Every structure is written in C-alpha cells, then in structure tokens.
Structure 1
C-alpha cells in the first residue's frame, strides 16, 4: 500500500498542542475541525505541520515546520473542546524533531510552482506532497528517518 505525505497548516500553538498529548497519542486537526479533509488521510501516512504564525490569526510570523509524524489507524473522531466547538481529529504518532524554517527549503520543494507565490498551496489547510519534499522537511527538522518509515515502502521487483 502506498504511503502518502501531507502538509497540514495551523498556528504553532495549535500544532504544538496536538503533539503534546500526555495520556496517549497526539492528534491532527485541520481546516477548523472539518471531517472531510481528514478522510483523505490514511493510517501510515506521514504528516508535517507548517505554522505560518505562532498564534491563530496572529501577526506573529513564524513560517516553520513544527511537528512531524505518522498517522495512526482509526477513523476521524469528534472531540468536544468546550464552548460548543467539536472538531474532528485523527491520531498521530509524532516523532522527536526540531522546529525548522521553511524559507531555506522553498527553492528545493517540488510542490512549489512559483517561488514568488510559494505560500499559495498552504491556503488549503491540508495538501499532499512527494516523498522528496517530505524527506527535505524531515531532514531540516532533524527527525529520525527510520521513525518516519523512510525506506520501508514496499519494493516491487519486475519479473521478466
């Protein structure tokens, strides 16, 4: 089964909250808690969180990747955060990593179609990227490639 790679977008405060779970796995929550985007994400997929700002809606620019991990089995589930806000989540096994600026990576990314408009795709909140781009992110974040299952994708031999 093919493993997909995703960039999710959230403020650093929100992304950090998702990977700081104390009593279980971390979680991902995208697009203001909508369930539809999470249905595209499968167990075993990799996800990296990009934070344009430190706080939601803030002017405190960060432009960094703040967490990276592997999506765990299970369907999206509703979680009551109080105040009538009940977003959908998926569980994620985050790996140890350092936050890393996106700026040195922009010229190397395959998903960037125009360097002048590199941030365009981030407006979608969740989008897929190539293995090449996820490896760049993981390397910049100093994340363990084995923990992210790089090199463990199924290999297919051609029979002649």
Structure 2
C-alpha cells in the first residue's frame, strides 16, 4: 500500500513544496528582504507563477550589485513564499515588476565554492556557474538541506 502511494504521487490535499534557487545580485536581495518580497528574471511573472505558498527560495548572488557590482558568488538569503499569486507593483512609470511575498529566515551569507562538491545540481564543478544563468530553477530536498544548513546552522 505504501509503495503504491509513493509511486502514484502524494495523497490528495498534501502540499508538495518545491525548493527554488533565484539568482539575484546582493543589493537586490537586500531590498527584497527589507520589503519581504522577491522578483525574478528582471520583474517578469513567468517563474513566479510556478511558485506556491510554502515553497522555499534560496537566493544566489553572483555579484554585489547589478549590473556592475563586484563578484560575490554567495548564497545571500533564504525564505518561504508567503502568498498565493504574483502581484504587480509600480517602481517607476517605466518599470512595473511582478513580485511574490516572502518570509525570510535569519541567515549568514555563504560562499558557494566550499559547497560545490556537496550539491547535486552542480554536475560539473569546473563549470558550476552555468546553472545560475537560468535565473530561477528548482533544486531537490538534499541540495536545499545542504544550503539551508550552511546558511542557518542545524535545524
């Protein structure tokens, strides 16, 4: 019975959380943490619509600021999606990005290089940065736990 349920997916009314990486400069992450929100892919809604309340997001910052900041290559924030749908806001008349509300955890900025050998989504450690070019992508529970533990300490 248990085997059949696992093979056929979760039981009805059981929420399956997804773990996301969002690639964002540290400066933008800091603004998001202060405002309790995230944006993705320069304010576009597509990836935000795939997220659900309760999903986890870990923020990777290749640079301190976008577009001309210094190299950083660190995980800079972790949080949980706190709403049901993306919403649009006006930053300027020419820029109206889509956002999701996020409840952020206290964490420590964590360089990626010491973790490369522990992360399954990094298939080739000599080309580890390639995955982050996608901007937003999912990771499995193992990788989430490696990163969460490195950023926040033991549960």
Q: TM-score, normalised by structure 2?
A: 0.87
Please name the residue that 1:93 is paired with.
103
**Residues 96 and 144 in structure 1, CA contact (< 8 A), matched pair in contact too:** no
**Residues 43 and 74 in structure 1, CA contact (< 8 A), matched pair in contact too:** yes
Report the CA distance between 1:73 and its aligned residue.
2.1
Q: Aligned partners of 1:144 and 1:74: how far apart in 2?
A: 29
Gap runs ≥5 in structure 2: 1-14
The Cα offsets for residues 116-143 of structure 1, whole Å up to 9 and x where unpaired, read as 1111110111000011111111111125
**Residues 29 and 87 in structure 1, CA contact (< 8 A), matched pair in contact too:** yes
Structural RMSD (CA): 1.2
Asked if 1:11 is matched to 2:25, the reply is: yes
Which of 116, 120, 128 pairs up with 2:126?
116
**Residues 66 and 99 in structure 1, CA contact (< 8 A), matched pair in contact too:** yes
The structure with the largest helix share of the pair is: 2
**Size of the alignment, in residue pairs?**
141
Please name the residue that 2:42 is paired with.
32
Structure 2 CA distance for partners of 1:144 and 1:32, relative to 1, 3 Å: farther
Gap runs ≥5 in structure 1: 146-160
